[in-house]
Amino acid sequence: MLSGHPAYISKSLPTVALRENPNLIVLDGDAEKASEAFWKISNLENPPERFLIHRKTAQSARQKVQKLTQALDEALEYVFLLLIETYIAYDI
Chain segment 64-92, per-residue pLDDT in tens: 999 999 999 999 998 888 888 777 777 65
DSSP state of 85: H
Give tens-digit pLDDT for 42-64. 999 999 888 887 778 888 889 99
In terms of Cα–Cα distance, which of 88, 83, 62 is closest to 75? Answer: 83
Give tens-digit pLDDT for 5-40. 777 788 888 888 888 888 877 778 888 988 998 999
Give the model's confidence band at 41: pLDDT under 50 very low, under 70 low, under 90 confident, else very high: very high
Contact criterion met (CB below 8 Å) for 54 and 29: yes
Measure the CA–CA gap between 83 and 92, rounded to whole angstroms.
Answer: 11
DSSP state of 28: -
Half-sphere exposure of 77 (CA within 13 A, CB side): 6
